[in-house]
Amino acid sequence: MTRTPESIPGIAALVDRFDCFLIDQFGVLRDGRGPYDGAAQTLDLLKAAGKRIIILSNSGKRSSENDRRLAKLGFNAQSWDWFLTSGEVAWRLLSAEASGRDQRKCLLISRDGDESPLEGVGLARTTRGEDADVVLIAASEGDVYTLDHYEALLAPAARRGVECLCTNPDKIMLTADGTSFGAGRIAELYEELGGTVRWIGKPFADIYAAAMEFLGHPDPARTVCIGDSIEHDIAGAASAGLSSLLVKTGILSTADDAELEALFTEHGAVPDFITPKFIW
Q: What's the pLDDT tens digit per position in 37-94?
A: 999 999 999 999 999 999 999 888 889 889 999 999 999 999 999 999 998 998 888 8
Cα(23)–Cα(244) distance, integer angstroms: 10
Q: How do residues 147-187 score in pLDDT, each as one tens digit? A: 999 999 999 999 999 999 998 888 888 777 778 899 999 99
> 6-58+202-275: what fold?
Rossmann fold (3.40.50)
In this structure, what DSSP letter does residue 35 have? B
Q: How many degrees, rounded to 5, is the angle at CA 247 between CA 241 and CA 252?
A: 110
At 163, give phi and psi (nearest 5°).
-65, 145
Q: How far is CA 121 from CA 106, 113, 141, 153, 207, in A?
A: 11, 18, 24, 23, 19
Helices 183-192 and 147-159 meet at what angle, rounded to 10? 50
| Alpha helix ranges (H) inside 218-269 | 235-239, 257-267
- Domain boundary assignment for the chain: 6-58+202-275, 88-199
On the question of a common fold for 6-58+202-275 and 88-199, the answer reads: yes
- Amino acid letter for position 263: L
Q: Tell me the fold of 88-199.
A: Rossmann fold (3.40.50)
pLDDT, one tens digit per residue, over 223-248 is 999 999 999 999 999 999 999 999 99
